[in-house]
Structure 1
């Protein structure tokens, strides 16, 4: 009985009818002839109320519902949540679905309203976009059922509290891995790379496809097969590719609700997967006051899982990053020359000059690529027309900071250090482009 009253709600329609009848009773004090009408309407309302309760509670099963969650959420991406509904009532029901989302989404009034015919099964979907890694706790799935009378609402609860971990963007990993091995790269912003040369190791003769170097056409095979055939040369393999993530305070800056650190983590996951697919050795580590989370470059089948689990727990420590310590640890631990993708951020030339001696020292023995970020908010300021004195000052200051970023790129280039200045949302694409270009040109 206690459970019955906990699940029973009276609808707005019932209270509207009840108060209307109450007003009619009050009016009947002055017009006695209306008293009988009000009395009949009250009995009718109570009768319909009892009928509605019987309709909704006679069937103990009522609505069957199940929330289907992915095993893990992908950070920064839209993840689909499915709710499966089955109506076992003998009549059409009206459902109000309220799902208790994790507190991280800050959606306290999430609901969907639908109607469902008797004996049918429905599925509704919605998407959630997590903006930080960690544990996300979904609460109960609440289904509020009403009949065509809509005087009474029966609440049913399903899918008690469920925890789903949010990992770095593995959806991006799948997407870019596919694009990196097809000829659809250009449509997603990947630039076409002209090969300067080949390694000496011949791999196979294959049919020509658009994008192949015409200089590799094998004329004898072409004449024999009566279709264009090209020689395919094998890229050099098993080269170390390290992603180095700065976890200092400069990486806590947010853009489009994600921190620079999370953009770097998502890009690290993708580039590690592509490097392994290209049969290179992928590794990673983080640094701030010291080097941490070191995963030596390897090609083992378990390497991606190790990288994913490590990236899941990375957080900023709000300290100033020690590039001298970074140089010492790289010198000590990385004996083989490899590609180092350093994700960090420099806002001013002075900030670069303090670290430049250590970057130059790293670049002597390794192929170093320094990756830092455009301030897209400043770009938006520059694109708006200045209509007041204050806006003119703001635009002037924004131009100064944007120009500083370009000077940083030039300073690194003058010292023979590769660099990528990228928008946060373009980080993954630009990093893949750079990796593929380095591989194509045989710079490692």
Structure 2
């Protein structure tokens, strides 16, 4: 219970005459003129003392006649699964079990890993009525978390006190990567607006190997797809259409080493890699492919065996939401050695990583080339945004010139290693972190269209 500003102000006003009366008693003997000026000082002090007693009584009565925080039932409604970095809807339900209306200030305490928006809020609770407070929570980090408590605060009837209570209300939640991107993709696809999110629209039918049907010629069809016998019978151009290859294997290898702790715009490289991997998994599962995922650092952190169909995305989400970046350097040879034991069939192997120099790239290239299994390897490199900005900067001093030169030299070495890996048959995607998802999806769709798997 906290005294209100009104109570503090009244207490100060009524206590001041008592303090002044005490000062007069001390100095009246030394300053005779002060006693001559005071005609009714004791009377004022006595009245002030009486009013202080009355104020104490009234303040006590105010507590007795006012409602208690225990008269308020509190519950929280929120999904067990939240998306990191995005607003997630939540709701606080309140019920007044007293006979008095209450004006309650509500604040949810979600803990250190989650931020709230539209909090705190004030709500009028009528007697024996219910009310709800809607707001959003934005998790800052993936993993398991608990929303801790709800803070309740309301004034007493006379406004002399503020009742305050921290109501324990633990709610366990799982914070997943940004799965809302999946729903945005689905929405854009249904409206033929994928280009707005950077995904190239590719016409997949007609590029597979298994014959599906004959249809009328459309502008853009290749000449080799025309069925000339059917064309002569129908007296119009007829095109052969083939099924897109399905049931192919996709393996996503996500680097969880210490370099993936780097951030751009407050989002770690690992979070960006996982978000993109989940998005690609959803699309590949929709194409009828099998998807497996490996997370590794200096050890195998997680391996998800192949899943099929769009419901398989839930398996991937449940298995990856709590993966965190290690403090150790990633061991690419170990990861590929493990993969060679668990994945012996033909597969598109996509490695998403971030490296700081050409030596690490050389290790990756050698690891991918040493594999004799039927893999189509793809290496997705996240660019070092800060290093690129440093290399592009016009130096203003000798020190800055040295930094710019060193950054340019590192980038040149990386570019040479990337070219070498391409020559050795490794598909390469070198992308800024914020464009990772769209670049990865477009590369996958291109591979499917060209039947490279």
Q: Considering the TM-score relative to the shorter chain, is it more than 0.5? A: yes
SS in 1 for 2:304: strand
1:78-227 to structure 2, matched below 5 A, reads 78-86=87-95, 93-105=102-114, 112-116=120-124, 118=126, 119=129, 121-133=131-143, 135-147=144-156, 149-158=158-167, 160-179=169-188, 182-193=191-202, 198-201=207-210, 203=212, 214-215=220-221
Pick from 346, 351, 354 the counterpart of residue 363 of structure 2. 354
CA contact (8 A) 1:98 1:143 kept: yes
1:200-279 to structure 2, matched below 5 A, reads 200-201=209-210, 203=212, 214-215=220-221, 233-279=242-288
SS in 1 for 2:344: coil
SS in 1 for 2:260: helix
SS in 1 for 2:379: strand
Report deviation, 1:104.
Answer: 3.3
Quote the Cα distance in structure 1 between the aligned partners of 2:305 and 2:69: 59
2:421 is the alignment partner of 1:409: no
CA contact (8 A) 1:241 1:338 kept: yes
Pick from 15, 18, 21 the counterpart of residue 8 of structure 2. 15
CA 412–300 in structure 1, closer or farther in 2 if over 3 Å, else same:
same
2:66 is the alignment partner of 1:56: yes
Q: CA RMSD in A?
A: 3.9
Quote the Cα distance in structure 2 between the aligned partners of 1:363 and 1:404: 27
- What is the TM-score of this pair, normalised by structure 1? 0.79
- What is the TM-score of this pair, normalised by structure 2? 0.77
CA contact (8 A) 1:82 1:124 kept: yes
Quote the Cα distance in structure 2 between the aligned partners of 1:200 and 1:231: 11
1:368-415 deviation per Cα after TM superposition (whole angstroms, max 9, x unaligned): 110121122334556776555544444444444444444443333233
SS in 1 for 2:208: coil
Which residue number in structure 1 is paired with residue 32 of structure 2? none
CA 105–299 in structure 1, closer or farther in 2 if over 3 Å, else same:
closer
Quote the Cα distance in structure 2 between the aligned partners of 1:310 and 1:324: 23
Greater gyration radius = 2
2:371 is the alignment partner of 1:336: no
Report deviation, 1:337.
Answer: 1.6
Quote the Cα distance in structure 1 between the aligned partners of 2:14 and 2:439: 69
Quote the Cα distance in structure 2 between the aligned partners of 1:49 and 1:175: 57
CA contact (8 A) 1:330 1:362 kept: no
SS in 1 for 2:86: coil
CA 207–42 in structure 1, closer or farther in 2 if over 3 Å, else same:
farther
2:290 is the alignment partner of 1:281: yes
2:18 is the alignment partner of 1:25: yes
Quote the Cα distance in structure 2 between the aligned partners of 1:198 and 1:360: 29
1:89-125 deviation per Cα after TM superposition (whole angstroms, max 9, x unaligned): 6666443333332233499xx9614252635624230
Quote the Cα distance in structure 2 between the aligned partners of 1:45 and 1:230: 95
CA 157–286 in structure 1, closer or farther in 2 if over 3 Å, else same:
closer
SS in 2 for 1:121: strand
Quote the Cα distance in structure 2 between the aligned partners of 1:394 and 1:188: 35
SS in 2 for 1:160: strand
CA 140–325 in structure 1, closer or farther in 2 if over 3 Å, else same:
closer
1:244-301 deviation per Cα after TM superposition (whole angstroms, max 9, x unaligned): 1223333333444443233222222222222111111111223444556333324267
CA contact (8 A) 1:66 1:85 kept: yes
SS in 1 for 2:113: helix
Report deviation, 1:242.
Answer: 0.8
Report deviation, 1:183.
Answer: 1.6
Report deviation, 1:321.
Answer: 3.5
CA 157–332 in structure 1, closer or farther in 2 if over 3 Å, else same:
closer
1:147-195 deviation per Cα after TM superposition (whole angstroms, max 9, x unaligned): 4743212234545222222233333333334445652211112234476
CA 258–28 in structure 1, closer or farther in 2 if over 3 Å, else same:
same
Which residue number in structure 1 is paired with residue 31 of structure 2? none
Report the count of equivalent residues: 422
CA contact (8 A) 2:212 2:242 kept: yes
1:185-229 deviation per Cα after TM superposition (whole angstroms, max 9, x unaligned): 111122344769512445578999xxx9653999xxxxxxxxxx9
1:315-394 to structure 2, matched below 5 A, reads 315-362=324-371, 365-381=374-390, 386-394=395-403
Which residue number in structure 2 is paired with residue 38 of structure 1? 48
Q: 5+ unaligned residues in a row in structure 1: which ranges?
A: 1-7, 219-228
Q: Which has the higher mean CA deviation after the structures are superposed, 84-93 or 8-17? A: 84-93
CA 408–233 in structure 1, closer or farther in 2 if over 3 Å, else same:
same
Quote the Cα distance in structure 2 between the aligned partners of 1:206 and 1:146: 75
Which residue number in structure 1 is paired with residue 234 of structure 2? none
Which residue number in structure 1 is paired with residue 29 of structure 2? none
